[in-house]
Amino acid sequence: MTDSADVLGQKEQVFEENVVKVFRCAKVVKGGRRFSFAALVVVGDRSGTVGVGYGKANEVPPAVEKGVKDARKNLHKIALSGRTIPHQIIGRFSATRITLVPASPGTGVIAGSSARAILELTGVQDVLTKVYGSTTAKNVVKATLNGLLRLRDGQMTENMRGVKVEVAKKW
């Protein structure tokens, strides 16, 4: 059986989701404590498309569902260079700075859990990272996304400048 989207030449993208962190909030009421939950979720296809979402609810599963729905609304296309990123960059958000450095093949993703989630679902397989300042999960994820969105590959640079760009060979 063929899908109508497949017939038109559009393949449905398969997105993976990763819950970065679940936050619990307690409100003290007359009868005791009332808990609510928030979930920070990353969604990606491991080939350059990634989104970050945040969902809140009175229980964890609905919070995660809302986070996934929010992440699918905020998808971004990231410029990659094979298994790594095209160049070094610093991502910033609030009091957090994260340095993303391209690495040679076989290095892997050297990053903390928050940055690792977004980098792996983007499709980056070799990268070095270092977080400076606040290490709050929300800030690290947003700073990492900020850095990834500002990456430019050779083709994008050529289009912006209108000049042919040659890649310098390493030693």
The predicted pLDDT at position 58 comes to 96
pLDDT classification of 157: cutoffs 50, 70, 90? confident
- Rounded distance between C-alpha atoms, residue 130 and residue 168, angstroms: 26
**Residue 5 confidence (pLDDT) above 50:** no
pLDDT band at 171 (very low <50, low <70, confident <90, very high): very low
Contact between 98 and 90 under an 8 Å Cβ cutoff? The reply is yes
Q: Determine the pLDDT at residue 170.
A: 57
Tokens linked to 138: 């929300």
Interstrand relation of 127-133 and 109-110 (parallel, antiparallel or unpaired): parallel
Q: Which two tokens stand for residue 106?
A: 């076989």
Indicate which CATH number applies to the domain containing 130: 3.30.230.10
1 part of a folded domain: no
**Residues 136 and 102 both lie in one domain:** yes
If asked whether residues 119 and 51 sit together in one domain, one would say no
In angstroms, rounded to a whole number, what is the distance separating the alpha carbons of residues 124 and 104? 12
Residue 10 main-chain phi, psi, to 5 deg: -105, 120
Indicate whether 156 and 85 sit together in one domain: yes
Asked if residue 114 and residue 69 are part of one domain, the reply reads no
- Boundaries of domain holding 86: 78-161
Residues 102 and 140 in one domain: yes
Residue 53: pLDDT over 50: yes
